[in-house]
Amino acid sequence: MAAPSDMPWEGRYVAITHEFAQRCAELRDSNPYADTVALDAIMLFLATELWDFRFSRSEIETAFRIAIDRLPKYCAGQERRP
């Protein structure tokens, strides 16, 4: 795969989010803390990092809500990918 910097904009966001999701799964799978839900912690820090990089609170909230609203169609009724 080409380096994200060599891709058009659409390819860059797909490649970067794919890598991010892969690393999130690795963290989930290696989580040593029974009382910490890895994805909860990751999403909280993602939201605060986005805010630190000057996305507005409403932009972040709207983006998360749109993603959640569209997820059932992508998942086709499944709770988890087989």
- Asked if 24 and 56 sit in the same domain, the reply is no
Conformation bin of residue 76: beta by default, left when phi > 0, alpha when psi is -120 to 50: left
- Asked if 13 and 43 sit in the same domain, the reply is no
Whole domain around residue 58: which residue ranges? 34-82
Rounded to 5, what percent of the chain is helix, strand, coil? 70, 0, 30
Rounded CA gap, 70 and 17, in Å? 16
- Asked if 38 and 74 sit in the same domain, the reply is yes
- Asked if 21 and 38 sit in the same domain, the reply is no
**Model's pTM, two decimal places?**
0.81
Walk along the chain (82 residues) and give the pLDDT tens digit of each residue.
566 568 899 999 999 999 999 999 999 999 999 999 999 999 999 999 999 999 999 999 999 999 999 999 999 989 998 8
- Asked if 52 and 22 sit in the same domain, the reply is no
Q: Which amino acid is at 10?
A: E
Number of domains present in the structure of the chain: 2
